[in-house]
Amino acid sequence: MTELKNDRFLRALMRQPVAGRYLPEYRATRAEAGDFLSLCKNTPLACEVTMQPLRRYPLDAAILFSDILTIPDALGLGLYFETGEGPKFRNVIRSEADVAALPTLKAEVDLDYVMNAVSTIRRELNGSVPLIGFSGSPWTLATYMIEGGSSKDFREAKKLMYGQPEVMHRLLDHLANSVIDYLNGQIRAGAQAVQIFDTWGGVLITWAYREFSLAYMKKIADGLIREHEGRRVPLIIFTKNGGQWLESMVDVGADALGLDWTTDIGTARARVGDQVALQGNMDPAMLYAPPARIRQEVADILSRFGNGSGHIFNLGHGITPDVDPAHAGAFIEAVVELSGEYHR
Ligand code: CP3
């Protein structure tokens, strides 16, 4: 087993990674790379921006600097980012023929820049804290591939799902196999935990969530390497707005469930018991409040989770780029100081 000085995260206790896109040093490095995607593909600079938050804050894990949309890009869709408009694809998936034409992903070749980033970051971390790898869920990736970018109503994705469910299933199955290959590649390259982001599962009807999102996360869980370097590789699954489905999410077989801020963490714990750890769940917008208010919110979330292990404290969703780094610092400091009494 490789040495790991701080394995608190892997013991699924507290404190978590906060990536660095709100930091001035991040913006400087991104400017050096040219743009966001070039930064993801530049191994030393992707490593540098992964390390930046760890230099500022006492965090218990690092998260790979990359994006969930690397898989569709590698499948030939042509990802680009237009300033202020979010991600976009040059090519979209709309038909049975489009799905049939998708190549089989060979993650270690087609996404070699991600694997290189993982192994470089692992070397740089030098056993200080574990490295989390990640991917989008098949459903979430499918929405971007069908819509051609972000969406408000998911009209095209739902058209395909309800109108030609068998075509949607073929696409999701293709993506599930791609995600398995991609995450196993990250694990072999050195990722010590992996997270699946199901950002858009929460826009589905309950039966459709089970059939079109959850079932494919289960397929991934069943296909992942779950032990590597003599240690368990925990899997975290996160469905934004998925609070009503926690019991079904437990059946996926992940080690932890990510919670957004809309679900009360105390209630969530009562529902899932000790079957999984819970990760979350402060509203990222709380970081705009004064530090004293942030601290009070951290105390409140800790007390609602209560005593014992199995709480990985983090935000309920991604941090917004205009957050004051001092407020992020106050958040992390509060978690460090206030969580001790609950985790004895
Ligand atoms: O935050 C981190 O640095 C950790 C790595 C990470 C990124 N994206 C980097 C990133 C992670 C875990 C993601 C996941 C991701 N990417 C998700 C799922 C998580 C979630 O939000 O639910 C989604 C939906 C995406 C797709 C994506 N990438 C969007 C919607 C955007 C925002 C576009 C915009 O205009 O702000 C991105 C860009 C992105 N991904 C940035 C970063 C740091 C910002 C790029 C920049 O402006 O520098």
DSSP of 255-288, one letter per residue? Answer: SEEE--TTS-HHHHHHHHTTSSEEEEEE-GGGGG
Atom of ligand 1 nearest to the CA of 238: 22
Compute CA distances 49 → 23, 27, 32, 321, 344, whole Å. Answer: 10, 9, 12, 14, 33
Judgement on whether residues 172 and 138 belong to the same structural domain of the protein: yes
Judgement on whether residues 113 and 199 belong to the same structural domain of the protein: yes
Where a domain ends, among 202, 225, 258?
Answer: 258
Residue 174 lies in a domain: yes
Q: What is the DSSP letter of 321?
A: T
- Establish whether residue 134 lines the binding site of ligand 1, counting it when its CB lies within 6 angstroms of any ligand atom: yes
The Cα–Cα gap between 249 and 327 comes to 32
**Non-local CB neighbours of 68 within 8 Å, separated by 6+ positions:** 134, 135, 136, 140, 141, 197, 199
Any catalytic annotation for residue 67? Answer: yes
Atom of ligand 1 nearest to the CA of 318: 21
Q: Determine contact, residues 167/152, Cβ cutoff 8 Å.
A: no
Judgement on whether residues 98 and 241 belong to the same structural domain of the protein: yes
Residue 269 lies in a domain: no
Q: Whose CA is nearest to atom 11 of ligand 1?
A: 67
Going from the Cα of 319 to the center of ligand 1, the distance in angstroms, rounded, reads 10
Any catalytic annotation for residue 30? Answer: yes
82: domain CATH number is 3.20.20.210
Where a domain ends, among 224, 258, 292?
Answer: 258
Beta bridge partners, 89, equal: 79
Domain count of the chain?
2
Judgement on whether residues 209 and 312 belong to the same structural domain of the protein: no
Give the model's pLDDT for residue 6. Answer: 79
Judgement on whether residues 157 and 232 belong to the same structural domain of the protein: yes
Any catalytic annotation for residue 94? Answer: no
Where a domain ends, among 258, 289, 305?
Answer: 258
Judgement on whether residues 17 and 146 belong to the same structural domain of the protein: yes
Going from the Cα of 137 to the center of ligand 1, the distance in angstroms, rounded, reads 14
Give the model's pLDDT for residue 82. Answer: 84
**Mean pLDDT for each 10-residue chunk of the chain (344 residues)?**
72 56 93 95 97 95 97 98 90 98 98 98 97 98 98 97 98 98 98 98 98 98 97 97 98 97 98 96 97 98 95 94 95 95 82
Judgement on whether residues 59 and 189 belong to the same structural domain of the protein: yes
Give the model's pLDDT for residue 2. Answer: 64
The residue annotated as part of the active site, out of 22, 26, 67, 216, is: 67
Give the model's pLDDT for residue 13. Answer: 40
The Cα–Cα gap between 327 and 129 comes to 23
Give the model's pLDDT for residue 83. Answer: 80
The Cα–Cα gap between 302 and 172 comes to 37
Going from the Cα of 67 to the center of ligand 1, the distance in angstroms, rounded, reads 6
Q: Strand, helix or coil at 88?
A: strand
Residue 343 lies in a domain: yes
Any catalytic annotation for residue 21? Answer: yes
Judgement on whether residues 77 and 20 belong to the same structural domain of the protein: yes
Residue 179 lies in a domain: yes
Give the model's pLDDT for residue 1. Answer: 55
Q: Whose CA is nearest to atom 20 of ligand 1?
A: 199
Residue 67 lies in a domain: yes
- Establish whether residue 23 lines the binding site of ligand 1, counting it when its CB lies within 6 angstroms of any ligand atom: no
Judgement on whether residues 20 and 90 belong to the same structural domain of the protein: yes
Residue 198 lies in a domain: yes
Give the model's pLDDT for residue 344. Answer: 67
Judgement on whether residues 343 and 247 belong to the same structural domain of the protein: no
Judgement on whether residues 243 and 313 belong to the same structural domain of the protein: no
- Establish whether residue 61 lines the binding site of ligand 1, counting it when its CB lies within 6 angstroms of any ligand atom: no
Q: For a ligand 1 pocket test, name from 16, 27, 49, 67 the mutation site with the most ligand atoms within 8 angstroms of its C-beta.
A: 67
Residue 266 lies in a domain: no
Domain that includes residue 55, residue range: 8-258
Beta strand spans in 95-209 (E):
131-136, 193-198
Give the model's pLDDT for residue 103. Answer: 98
- Establish whether residue 89 lines the binding site of ligand 1, counting it when its CB lies within 6 angstroms of any ligand atom: no
Q: Strand, helix or coil at 39?
A: helix
- Establish whether residue 36 lines the binding site of ligand 1, counting it when its CB lies within 6 angstroms of any ligand atom: yes
Give the model's pLDDT for residue 131. Answer: 97
**Non-local CB neighbours of 311 within 8 Å, separated by 6+ positions:** 12, 13, 14, 265, 277, 278, 279, 302, 305, 339, 342, 343
The Cα–Cα gap between 303 and 277 comes to 16
Judgement on whether residues 182 and 318 belong to the same structural domain of the protein: no
Q: Whose CA is nearest to atom 35 of ligand 1?
A: 86
Residue 303 lies in a domain: yes
